[in-house]
Structure 1
Amino acid sequence: MPYLDHAATTPMRPEAIAVLTEALREAGNPSSLHASGRAARRRVEEARESCAARLGARASEVIFTGGGTEGDNLAVKGIYWARRAEDPRRRRVLVSAVEHHAVLDTAEWLRDHEGAELVVLGVDASGRVAPEELRAAIGDDPDSVALVSVMLANNEVGTVNPVRELAAIAAGHGIPVHTDAVQAVGVLEVDFAALGVAALTCSAHKIGGPVGAGALLLRRDTACTPVLHGGGQEREVRSGTLATAAILGFVRALELAVAERETHAGELARLRALLLTAVRAAVPDAVVNGPEHGGLPGIAHVTFPGCRGDTLLAALDARGIECSTGSACTAGVSRPSHVLLAMGADAEAARGCLRFSLGYTSTDADVTALGAVLGEAVTGARGRGVPSLRRRKTDRVKEMS
């Protein structure tokens, strides 16, 4: 079955599975002082050093987490709390309008429960945060800003943000920047030190590692109040018994992803171009969202006019093609993509999207299979129509009669 949803999760790499399963056979809590515990600690620390080397960080800056959502929550909440404790004026949290919900919902929670003032940074038509937008948001009151969070690369449309430049602007005012790099690792060069950010989130299962593992890179001079309390592991920032096997599987996948990055990114770009050619041949009025070039090479986000994304998703799924919609669904109710709305799309267009995302297992055959059934699937989905459009047509008929 053609799998075109790698941005959601990528199949585990065989090498990562081998490392993880071997580690699962070993006993030992990395915090224990006996021989098994010391052996587990050694493996974790070796993995930490490897992770740091691949991401341009120091080993002491690597905090292992349970994945991207935890890392985003820890960074945004923890830095906000620490900065506000140092200076009560620091209540403004600046986040881009196209962030993953792990950041957006966290910032909204701080607004609703912790007295934060949420400032949403606008984006251009491609989903990019311009440096001028950040300068204007900081304005003449930088002392009130607790932190800035702008993702390195967008998970829906693949837009890459100028994070290094944004971080430099914030640094001029002593403001820490967090970036969600979950989609960037393995396809873009990610260098923590060079980016100049205070915190960076990454996740294992986007690069062929296990679900439930990841890392938050946190600069040593950045205060971060813990969300979890307990044993004081991970610099007393993230308590909890370290998942040795998952960490080792994560870091093995990271080593492979970074080593293969240039070749892998080139192959993804080739496949994406092939996929867009197939989409346009099957559906000439399809609209590609986000940057045509210069974004993430493995993401193609497309609007199909006259379709509901969830309807088209089901039609493709019935034909053996797995992808995702450009909208979030809660309790079965489709909502327009907040990313497309921020980019200026209208609500109907933001509901009629699909995201095709490629990964290390993707092949030309996957793209060919999509092209073979897409036209038929879109025709069928358009036959079912978009509910609001059908209502408008019905209203017009009633008016004419």
Structure 2
Amino acid sequence: MTSTERGTRLADQSADAGAMLAWFRRMRESEPVSHDEEAGVRHVFRHADVERILSDPGTFSSDFSSLMPAQEDVDRFLRGNLLRKDPPQHRKLRTLVSKAFTPGRVARLAPRIASVVDDLLDARAGQDEFELVADLAYPLPVTVIAELLGIPTVDRPMFGRWADALVAPESQTSFIPNEERTRSMAIVMREMNAYCLELIRHRRARPQDDLTSELVAAEVDGQRLDDEEIIGFVGLLLLAGHITTSALLTNVVTCLVEQPEAATALRADPGGLALAVEEVLRFRTPLAPSMRVTRSDVRIGDHTVPAGRIVLAWLASANRDERVFADPDRFDIRRTPNAHLSFGHGIHFCLGAPLARLEVRTAVAKMLGRWSDIAVGPGAEYHDARGIVGARRLPLHVRWV
């Protein structure tokens, strides 16, 4: 009996994270590689298989251009988008971008991140109601990314509008955009591309102390990024740099509300926050799937997948694999080792991971220091768990210290 006949197709799954986890558990045992004929994809659920897919760009490509309807604005955005490039183009882009987006630059942001968190918490000081996304989880990473890139404060509300349009529910369940979806994406990308290009050209003419200026100047072996390659990376930072960080921060708070003893332990020992954030990344994986397309016929488990087929590697399932994690459905803030795949693996390991970790650790430490009690109030809204796991809106009741 096929997975379709058993009703385990992705399209039949609830957007609820709990239903998805139950589906993952069943599929890891009964059908770890599943052919979903209606959706036109192969689902992959076990850690070893997912890690293999992420580690082998020669077989599992990140370039979907041959499967998507051609569209100038979308193509322009993807030109410098590291997530959608294979070697050797990926190597060139990542090497040049890494010259500007260094660990040292990220580390120097720590005082400013702490200051932004303090300002956002001060704005609601003493109030017993706090909407985590609007009041902290969205403005924190947006402010940091915007300042890093040198984007004016008044322009930052555009990020949310662009993100809402490009990370719409239908984009999380239809894997390759059709012509209608591509046209709607193109409208947003045209505006975003034009904004980024104007910023880049301005910095090329008048460099400043910001990441955009450093991307313009970055050079390795005589090679530099051209304006349109920088558009893709700046656009990627604007979107990915805040969506997943915002989701992760809501997931940390959700886990600590559900496990108050963990919150108590972290108040007593803030040094445990680093491990705790890694456990949240595993336990409530912000980006549930990672998608690839096969370059050639390939064997995954008991399945032969032909060339040119979409493979959906479920990070959120791999992170609960019983073969790798002891008692995987238990939230353990001291779990070590923790071989989660939430930031990817191999050449596409998330370049922004150190920044996301720093922002979230800083925010959680300050929340725990200021709030003696946290509870989720009514009206919480969540992303579609088939794409992003996290809250779109998370009202909290808090007690200030």
TM-score, normalised to structure 2, is 0.26
RCO comparison, higher one (Cα < 8 Å, 6+): 2
TM-score, normalised to structure 1, is 0.26
More helix by share: 2
